[in-house]
């Protein structure tokens, strides 16, 4: 039955499903899931996944440092904001803190047209580290 279900998936959907499934036993096992499509753009959202540690950045608000060492600026969905304090926080449109610098994140989305930042437009998960 599982093999017949997999036959209907496109190759990109299968890769994303495998990547997301790999998180179940990794550092995101106890993650708090956020809304499945915070930007409401699932039809237009690329199927990329960026994982790593959320870092403060004065130019782009936050960066994600991947386990392989590269860092990527992040563009959050409309309505999300940043609150500075001892620890920088990501605030959702309802005013709730959904992530803090130092947290581990798994972000759905894709790179901007000019490849300078990762646009979060799909589901994302946060594993608090503090």
**CB-count burial class (<10 Å; 0-12, 13-18, 19+) for 56:** middle
For the chain, give every domain's residue range: 2-127
For residues 89 and 46, give the distance between their C-alpha atoms in angstroms, rounded to a whole number.
25
Q: Report yes or no: 82 and 88 within 8 Å, Cβ to Cβ.
A: yes
For residues 79 and 39, give the distance between their C-alpha atoms in angstroms, rounded to a whole number.
9
Strand duo 97-100 + 48-57: pairing: unpaired
What pTM, to 2 d.p., does this model score?
Answer: 0.67
User: CA nearest 121: which of 24, 43, 27, 12?
Assistant: 43
Q: What pLDDT tens digit does each residue of the chain (130 aa) get?
A: 433 333 343 333 333 333 444 433 444 444 444 444 444 444 578 889 999 999 999 888 999 999 999 999 999 999 999 999 999 999 999 999 999 999 999 999 999 889 899 999 988 899 998 6
């Amino acid at each position: 039955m599982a093999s017949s279900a997999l036959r209907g998936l496109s190759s990109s959907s299968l890769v994303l499903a495998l990547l997301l499934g790999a998180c179940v036993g990794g550092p995101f096992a106890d993650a708090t899931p956020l809304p499945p499509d915070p930007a409401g753009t699932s039809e237009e959202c690329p199927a990329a996944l960026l994982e790593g540690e959320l870092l403060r950045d004065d130019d782009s608000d936050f960066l994600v440092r991947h386990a392989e060492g590269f860092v990527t600026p992040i563009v959050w969905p409309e309505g999300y904001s940043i609150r500075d304090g001892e620890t920088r926080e990501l605030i959702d449109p309802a005013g709730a803190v959904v992530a803090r610098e130092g947290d581990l994140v798994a972000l759905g989305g894709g790179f901007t047209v000019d490849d300078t930042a990762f646009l979060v437009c799909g589901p994302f998960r946060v594993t608090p580290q503090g």
